Amino acid sequence: MKKVKINSIEELKKYFTKYKDGFLFRGQTAHYINNNGDVNVPTSFSRHGCIPPIMFKWTHYSKAIIRAFTQLNYHEISSELSQAILQHYGWRSFYVDLTKSPQVACWFAVNQYNENNLLNMCENFEEEPIWLIHKEAKYVETNTKGHIYIVDTNILKKLNVTIYDLTELESTAGLLRFHAQQACLVGNFKDTLPFQAIIAHLEVENEILKEFYCESGIKHTSDIFPSRYEDFVLNSLLNIPWEKLPIDGPITTYQRGLGLPEYDIEFIKHLSTETALFNAYWIADNISEKHVPLIGIPFYKLPEIAYYATSENSCKLQEINQLLKTYDKFAIELDQLIKIVELNNQNEYEKGIVIEKITSDLVSISGLTIHHPGHQVSGIGTTRSWYYKIEDEQWYHIGHPEQCPCNNNLRHELHYSLLYMFNTFIKEKKIIQVGKLIFSHADIL
């Protein structure tokens, strides 16, 4: 690896002209080495570890958002692509961020990341005081020398390191963060970016770096991290319901359902009904006479992680088939609200599914829904169904005159996946209460 000290913008431009095609860049405000003296660029998982339940939730929403705005198939979106989304919006991955833009690399070589929890007191739509916890993130200019690493993509390929060019993910609906950053992710290595692929390390004076990236029009954090009004992925993630924290006190405190860093926090004194503030509400415990289709049927309670699993379109559901010999109809309810990405500014959320036996070999699955404006529940209902034929213990989706006419197949496919997970939990005896079945979070992990 060549080590070079850059003392003028002319020198910096000269070096970058050597590395146009086949090279990627990374900027850092500090230079880190391992015990052998080699450059140390670790993945975020190797630094912070992995929390599977939150990872599954992040993965689902990233794939659902990609699908909604690019029309890619949810089930065919690779874990690598979804992790790329996660990494760029604040979660962890097995990959390392690089960029195709030397200007972007120079910006990161000057600006250092900082975050802290910010507590905002505001009002729900009934003007009651609440606390909202934000993860406030910002980049602060440093006065030290910056470090640019030049990475040879041919060496990465020879080392069987995969490169994911996120600029190839096309979108016409605004400016996405990874497009603004001309981002690439590299991965499938154990912990750190292979030092052999870093062919040059440029140590550059702070003012030279700033002059270089300012010439390209990069002057503010928002040029690298577009706001929620430009970036639909960010906006969709920020629309996931807030969740009440178990804190005793006169004022209710909420945290985001996904705790992503926020670079453009706006103080809103009076929240609208579009901001969902969820407080451990169970439909199962609040059925009344006005909910006729749900009266008297058994409810089975599951943690939300069950929703984020996926299954084949048809598989054997022996435990469910056995349950249908006892009950013609039952419901499975999740402990959290599930945001449907396409319903961006509506108050309808998924809360589970309802299964009904029509005939001995015909069943339906409908969505269990809840209308949740702000902190209140204003309605409970079900969606139109998809229908399934049972043959040799397996369920096959079939056309039906009363089938839901919506064009959101994914919503119904995930209903089926949730049923499959319920079947698995029963089979593996992950039940800690009979009757209104409740599953242990610890057992599922």
**What backbone phi and psi angles, to 5 degrees, belong to 400?**
-155, 145
Domain boundary among 177, 212, 237: 237
Co-location of 10 and 115 in the same domain: yes
- Chain centroid to CA 203: 35
Rounded to whole angstroms, how far apart are CA atoms 442 and 444?
5
Rounded to whole angstroms, how far apart are CA atoms 193 and 343?
39
Co-location of 228 and 80 in the same domain: yes
Terminal Cα distance for the chain, rounded: 43
Tell me the sheet residues that pair with 117.
135
Co-location of 202 and 307 in the same domain: no
Co-location of 185 and 127 in the same domain: yes
Q: What is the extent of the structural domain holding 384?
A: 280-444
Co-location of 326 and 200 in the same domain: no
Co-location of 203 and 312 in the same domain: no
Rounded to whole angstroms, how far apart are CA atoms 328 and 363?
9
Co-location of 301 and 418 in the same domain: yes
Residue 282, CB-side half-sphere exposure with 13 Å CA sphere: 13
Rounded to whole angstroms, how far apart are CA atoms 205 and 390?
69
Rounded to whole angstroms, how far apart are CA atoms 193 and 204?
22
pLDDT at 434: 38
Rounded to whole angstroms, how far apart are CA atoms 266 and 245?
21
Tokens 């833009």, residue located: 101
Do 199 and 152 contact (CB within 8 A), yes or no?
A: yes
Give the model confidence (pLDDT) of 383-402 as tens digits.
Answer: 999 999 999 889 999 999 99
pLDDT at 311: 64
Could you list the beta-strand ranges (E) of 393-442.
Answer: 394-398
| Domain assignment present for 267 | no
| Domain assignment present for 363 | yes
| Domain assignment present for 162 | yes
pLDDT at 90: 83
Co-location of 226 and 287 in the same domain: no
| Domain assignment present for 272 | no
- Chain centroid to CA 357: 35
How far is the CA of 336 from the CAs of 193, 244, 303, in angstroms?
A: 38, 11, 7
- Collapsing DSSP states into helix, strand and coil, what is residue 58? helix
pLDDT at 8: 95
| Domain assignment present for 216 | yes
Rounded to whole angstroms, how far apart are CA atoms 22 and 395?
49
pLDDT at 221: 95
Co-location of 223 and 97 in the same domain: yes
Q: How many other CB atoms are there within 10 angstroms of residue 249's CB atom?
A: 8
Residue ranges in the chain modelled with pLDDT below 70: 44-53, 172, 311-314, 430-445
| Domain assignment present for 266 | no
Domain boundary among 237, 264, 291: 237
Co-location of 14 and 145 in the same domain: yes
- Collapsing DSSP states into helix, strand and coil, what is residue 307? helix
Tell me the sheet residues that pair with 98.
184
| Domain assignment present for 24 | yes
pLDDT at 439: 42
Co-location of 232 and 284 in the same domain: no
Per the structure, the count of domains in the chain is 2
Rounded to 10 degrees, what is the CA torsion of 114, 119, 125, 126?
A: 180
Rounded to whole angstroms, how far apart are CA atoms 421 and 445?
13
| Domain assignment present for 247 | no
Co-location of 369 and 425 in the same domain: yes
Domain boundary among 222, 237, 252: 237
Describe the crossing of helices 206-215 and 102-110 by its angle, rounded to 10 degrees.
140
pTM above 0.85, yes or no: yes
Give the model confidence (pLDDT) of 196-219 as tens digits.
Answer: 999 999 999 999 999 999 999 999
